[in-house]
Amino acid sequence: MLKNLLMPEIKELIENKKWYDIKEVLSEWPSPDIADLIESLDDENKIIIFRLLPKDIAAEVLIELGPDTEKKLIEKLTNRQIKEIINELSTDDRTGLFEELPDNVVERLLELLSPEEKNESLSILSYPENSVGRLITTEYLSLKPEWYVEEAIDHIRRVGNDVETIDIAYVVDNKKNLLGLLSIKDILLAKPKTQIKDIMEKEIVFINVMEDQEKAANLMKRYDLSVLPVVDNNNKLIGIVTIDDIVDVIEEEQTEDFTKISSIHANIKELEQITDLLSAPFRKLYKSRIFWLFALLIMDIFTGGIIISFEETIAKYIILTAFLPVLVDTAGNAGSQAATLVIRAMALGTVTAKDWIKLLLKEAIVATLLGISMALGISIMGFIRGGTKIATVVVISMFVNVFVGSLIGVILPFIFAKLKKDPATASTPLITTFADIFGTAIFLAIAKTILG
């Protein structure tokens, strides 16, 4: 609310070039609000306002901006200015920034880092996209098992400002093998001469660096964690993942699932841009939607071919065309419902690929009940509009279509999972298109069989 009230005044100060006043006001603003202000300005004022920010605030604001704005600012800043800013970023934030920028810009930024920081950034960027390795920060608090509590407290005081969080400390040996953990509360309440190994917790929830980010999110949710340790294949602690990064992952995964369910095609880097509809380029919005629309168009041609092959039956019983949209739409809706439930269950981990037979059998029972209910629902209209024979065709077709549509909705996500594709690719438009093809064929085949 305060940001919205002050935004017009800030823009007035910009027009009057009162840079000192602007700097004073913005020093009190949260970084996300400053980023919103910069995004709303023209390119020239974007750069001016960003340059007014102290380097620590500028670093926080930079990672809140959209990729296009980040690129424009970096291109206009001197190497010295960029170096000061990226040195203020934590490891995970720096990686996030590099992932959003073009390769040529990233190469420039890497050259501005110290050899140690450059190697660290390259090491993190070498992990697969969407892996936990891309989220880690190496700035964590570690203690030795043989230390006494008073030694640990002295160590925390020395390094506390340089780590991501001091809420949790990890106990490691000289080879960085993860031995245990303890909270800052455990340390403060323990007696000074107590050894760390005597109060550390040995049962640890951790994750391998190569695992998918979504698994890290599920672990942190399941065990109510704010920090998750990340190890390599030899159980050596190489970093931590914090809850702020996991919140971003959850939002990103949900956005990705929604776009796939709606048959919108976009890679991870483009998701933020295409969902910011007001500033998204026309080209990217077009590109994200045309692929699946065209693919579904090709599939829909089969529906037309099926109708043509039954043209004699349709010509003789024109009333059939009145029921065709209802039947295929209901089948598509039933399939979409089933697919949505399966996709969400798979995302939450309550259903896995090996459960497909159990779920298919269960859905067969539910689909039977749904089919009977919908068949009874349309039977009255069938009798009124077409008489007994037409009603018989419509009732049987409705039952079969709902049954088949529901099973398609259940089985498609498992097929995509088996093919190592995101189950969310079993989208509503895709299922609806399948329902159109199968529903039309089923309805007209039943009509020809019964009516002759």
Q: Is 298 exposed, middle or buried (0-12, 13-18, 19+ CB in 10 A)?
A: exposed
Q: Give the pLDDT mean for 251-274.
A: 60
Alpha-carbon span 331 to 305, nearest angstrom: 19
For residue 59, being part of any structural domain is answered with yes
pLDDT at 259: 63
The per-residue pLDDT for 193 is 93
Phi (first) and psi of residue 170, to 5 degrees: -105, 135
Q: What percent of the chain has pLDDT over 70?
A: 90
Assess if residue 431 is contained within a domain.
yes
| 324 found inside a domain | yes
Give the least confident one: 47-51, 71-75, 212-216, 268-272: 268-272
What pLDDT does 249 receive?
78
Residue 132 lies in a domain: no
Q: How many domains does the chain have?
A: 3
Mean local confidence (pLDDT), 49-78: 86
Report residue 158's pLDDT band, with 50, 70 and 90 as the boundaries: very high
Residue 267 lies in a domain: no
Contact criterion met (CB below 8 Å) for 444 and 327? no
pLDDT of 146 strictly over 90? yes
Whether the pLDDT of residue 279 is over 70: the answer is no
Q: Which of 71, 96, 126 delimits the end of a domain?
A: 126
User: Is pLDDT of 272 > 80?
Assistant: no
Q: Pick from 126, 157, 188: which residue ends a domain? A: 126
Cα separation of 163 and 93, whole Å? Answer: 13
Q: Poorest-confidence range of 13-17, 156-160, 197-201, 264-268?
A: 264-268
Confidence of residue 278 (pLDDT cuts 50, 70, 90): low
Look at residue 257 in the predicted model and tell me its pLDDT.
Answer: 64
**Greatest mean pLDDT range, 112-121, 223-232, 336-345:** 223-232
User: Looking at 100, 126, 152, which one is the last position of a domain?
Assistant: 126
Q: Could you report the per-residue pLDDT of 343-384, keeping only the tens digit for each?
A: 888 877 788 888 889 989 999 999 999 999 999 989 888 888
pLDDT category, 399, cuts 50, 70, 90? very high
- Whether residue 72 is contained in a domain is answered as yes
Q: Which of 84-93, 223-232, 354-363 has the lowest mean pLDDT?
A: 84-93
At residue 419, the pLDDT reads 81
pLDDT band at 113 (very low <50, low <70, confident <90, very high): confident
Same domain, 327 and 418: yes
What pLDDT score was predicted for residue 258?
64
CA atoms of 363 and 380, how far apart (whole Å): 27
Per-residue confidence (pLDDT) for residue 190, from 0 to 100: 93
**First and final CA of the chain: distance in angstroms?**
70
Q: Are residues 121 and 7 in the same domain?
A: yes
Maximum mean pLDDT: which of 15-19, 74-78, 290-294, 430-434: 74-78
Quickly state the pLDDT bin for 51 (edges 50, 70, 90). confident
User: Are residues 115 and 151 both part of a single domain?
Assistant: no
**pLDDT of 179 over the 70 cut:** yes
Residues 60 and 161 in one domain: no
Examine residue 135 and state whether it is found in any structural domain, yes or no: no
- Treating both helix axes as pointing N-terminal to C-terminal, what angle do 356-418 and 320-348 enclose, rounded to 10 degrees? 90
CATH code, 221? 3.10.580.10
Residues 231 and 322 in one domain: no
Do 189 and 284 sit in the same domain of this protein?
Answer: no
Same domain as 170, residue 104 = no
Let me know whether 243 and 315 are in one domain. Answer: no
Position 348 in a domain:
yes
* 270 pLDDT tier (thresholds 50, 70, 90): low
CA–CA distance, 58 with 96 (Å, rounded to integer): 16
**Least confident residue range of 230-234, 248-252, 275-279, 323-327:** 275-279
Q: What is the CATH number of the domain that holds 284?
A: 1.10.357.20
Confidence of residue 84 (pLDDT cuts 50, 70, 90): confident
Considering the chain, what percentage of its residues have pLDDT values greater than 90? Answer: 25
List the single range of 127-131, 254-258, 386-390, 443-447 with lowest mean pLDDT: 254-258
pLDDT score at 141? 93
Same domain, 78 and 33: yes
By CB neighbour count within 10 A (0-12 exposed, 13-18 middle, 19+ buried), where does 335 fall? Answer: buried
Residue 269 has pLDDT above 60, yes or no: no
Residue 151 and residue 111 in one domain = no
Which pLDDT belongs to residue 104? Answer: 84
Q: What is d(CA 276, CA 32) in angstroms, rounded to the nearest whole number? A: 15
Kindly state the average pLDDT of the residues 68-78: 86
- Per-residue pLDDT, 185: 92
SS3 of the chain: CHHHHHHHHHHHHHHCCCHHHHHHHHCCCCHHHHHHHHHCCCHHHHHHHHHHCCHHHHHHHHCCCCHHHHHHHHHHCCHHHHHHHHCCCCHHHHHHHHHHCCHHHHHHHHHCCCHHHHHHHHHHHCCCCCEHHHCCECCCCEECCCCEHHHHHHHHHHHHHHCCCCCEEEEECCCCEEEEEEEHHHHHHCCCCCEHHHHCECCCCCEECCCEHHHHHHHHHHCCCCEEEEECCCCEEEEEEEHHHHHHHHHHHHHHHHHHHCCCCCCHHHHHHHHCCCCCCHHHHHHHHHHHHHHHHHHHHHHHHHHHHCHHHHHHCCCHHHHHHHHHHHHHHHHHHHHHHHHHHHHHCCCCHHHHHHHHHHHHHHHHHHHHHHHHHHHHHHHHHHHHHHHHHHHHHHHHHHHHHHHHHHHHHHHHHHCCCCHHHCCHHHHHHHHHHHHHHHHHHHHHHHHC
Same domain, 116 and 146: no
Note the pTM of the prediction, 2 decimals: 0.63
| Residue range of the domain that includes 85 | 2-126
Most confident among 40-44, 216-220, 279-283 (mean pLDDT): 216-220
Other CB atoms within 10 A of residue 196 CB: 23
CA separation (Å) from 115 to 56, 98, 190? 22, 17, 40
Burial of residue 381, with CB atoms counted within 10 A of its CB: 0-12 exposed, 13-18 middle, 19 or more buried: middle
**CATH code, 72:** 1.25.60.10
Q: What pLDDT is attached to residue 209?
A: 93
Tokens (6 digits) for 284: 């990217």
Within this chain, do residues 201 and 227 fall inside the same structural domain, yes or no?
yes
